[in-house]
Amino acid sequence: MDNLHTSTGQNIRPFADRPGFSFVEQDITVPLDIAAERIYNLACPASPVHYQSDPVRTVKTSVLGTINVLETARKYKSRILQASTSEIYGSPLVHPQPESYWGNVNPIGKRSCYDEGKRCAETLFYDYRRQFEVDIRVARIFNTYGPGMSFNDGRVIGNFILQALSGKDLTLYGDGSHTRSFCYVSDMVSGLINLMESDLCQPVNLGNPLEISMSRLAEEIITLTGSTSGVVYLPLPEDDPQRRNPDITLAKSDLGWTPAVALKAGLAETIRYFKKMAAGA
């Protein structure tokens, strides 16, 4: 189910003719009634460009939408997984971030519609577990990338690749020293499935603990694309965290999960995808 708010549905076309596959175009803020053994709730625009363009809608997706999917899980006794986020931790004062950290979040900033919406969604998940015994799983997802990414969602890897391929200077915010960690999409999918099929009901960080500065990431992408692009520096956006890195001790010990795809290999695959899409293939 998807409302196609941030996509065209292109990524699901290869599955359209597979036996057992069906697609429902619907917004989860509208009550739904679909029997399922497993529900993965990944609904919500996740890039700042998308979630800040309609912040009220973003909050509704995380709150009203979460209530709707939880009610469905309650009715049909489904196991349900919430795609939460590293934004739960806000601009962290603890590094790397373990699941026990409660975060440092601005409740009234431009990012708050997403950050606080996702925090409220976690609250709802655990209240439905305590009050109605709904079988829940919660994944705190750190930056993820790979083929299938949107061209215009404003995420740093997509921005850098497009700028490099077009010969434009790469845009760095601040002095380029702030860091992120990036998990390749196939690793993230395997982590979500492992968590869904586990007995672990507490929040679990899923992400790649390899930390890289934005200036180093820009250099890697310029090299991999063979671009002659330079870099330009702009002020940091409001509440943009200086460092973000997951402590994945719990995922390793209880899920037997750790990322397998190296950043360089993942970037190369992502660049190939962007080149293919730019060529209209």
Digit-coded pLDDT (tens) for 65-109: 999 999 999 999 999 999 999 999 998 999 999 999 999 998 998
Within 10 angstroms of residue 256's Cβ, the number of other Cβ atoms is 9
* Catalytic annotation, residues: 114
Question: Would you give the DSSP letter of residue 168?
Answer: P
Residue pair 52/29 in contact (Cβ under 8 Å)? The answer is no
Q: Amino acid identity of 246?
A: P
pLDDT above 80 for 237? no
Residue pair 158/151 in contact (Cβ under 8 Å)? The answer is yes
- Of all residues in the chain, the percent with pLDDT exceeding 90 is 69
Residue pair 195/260 in contact (Cβ under 8 Å)? The answer is no
| pLDDT tens string 163-221 | 999 999 998 888 888 888 999 999 999 999 999 999 999 999 999 999 999 999 999 99
Q: Which CATH class is domain 10-278?
A: alpha beta
Average the pLDDT over 230-253 and give the result.
84
Note the pLDDT of residue 239.
Answer: 57
> pTM (2 decimals)?
0.92
Note the pLDDT of residue 46.
Answer: 76
Q: How far apart are CA 207 and CA 184, in angstroms?
A: 9
Average the pLDDT over 213-235 and give the result.
91
